[in-house]
Amino acid sequence: MNPDIFVASLIETLKSGALMQFVGRAKPPMDPWAVRILNRVLGNISPGQPEVPIMECTLTGPIIRARKPAIIAIGAPKGALSLPLWEPIRLAAGEELDLRNLGGSGRIYFGLVRDVDSPGNPYRQFGKLLANSRLRSATPSPSELAYLADGPPQSLGSEMVNLCGQTFRLLPASDRRGLRYKAPREVKGGREIPPEPMTYGAIQLPPSGDPVIVGPDGPVTGGYARIGTVALASLRQLAWQLPGDAVTFTQITRAEALRQALDLEEALARDVVPC
Partner 1 sequence: MNLRPTKSKISGRWVSELELAVALDRAVLTPNLRRKLATSQHPAGPATLLGAESVHFIWDLKQSGRDLADNSEALVSATLQWLDSLLLQSETSQTLQALPDQGDAVQETIIVITASYGEAAKIASGLRPDFANAISRDLSRLASLNQCTPEEIIRRHLATTYVVAFCGFQPGFAYLEPLPGSPAIRAPRHEAPRAKVPAGAVALGGPYCGVYPSNGPGGWNIIGLTEMRFLDATSGRELWAPGDLVRFSGVAQ
Query: Which residues are at the interface with partner 1 (CB under 8 A)?
Result: 148, 150-151, 192, 194-197, 199, 201-202, 207, 219-221, 223, 226, 229, 231-232, 254-255, 257-259, 261-262, 265
> DSSP state, 209?
S
Distance of alpha carbon 191 from alpha carbon 155, whole angstroms: 5
In the complex with partner 1, the residue whose CB is nearer, 129 or 252, is 252
Instruction: Give the Cα separation of 234 and 30 in Å (integer).
Output: 11
Segment holding 144, helix H or strand E: strand 143-149
* Residue 234 Cβ vs partner 1, minimum distance, rounded to whole Å: 11
Closest CA to 33 of 88, 76, 96: 76
Give, in order, the Cα–Cα distances in Å from 215 to each of 37, 97, 136, 177, 207: 21, 29, 22, 5, 19
Shortest distance in whole angstroms from residue 13 CB to partner 1: 27
CB of 82 to partner 1, least distance (A): 33
Shorter beta-carbon distance to partner 1: residue 166 or 253:
253
For partner 1, the closer of residues 44 and 229 by Cβ is: 229
Residue 113 CB partners (closer than 8 Å, separation 6+): 42, 43, 44, 70, 71, 72, 88, 124
Min CB(106)–partner 1 separation in Å: 23
Which SS3 state, helix, strand or coil, does residue 39 take?
A: helix
Q: How many C-alpha atoms does 208 have within 13 Å on its Cβ side?
A: 9
CB of 269 to partner 1, least distance (A): 11
Dihedrals phi, psi of 6, to nearest 5 degrees? -60, -45
Q: Which residue lies nearer to partner 1 by CB, 11 or 148?
A: 148
Closer to partner 1 by Cβ: residue 246 or 268: 268
Q: How far is the CB of 46 from partner 1 (least distance, A)?
A: 16
97 vs 232 by CB, closer to partner 1: 232
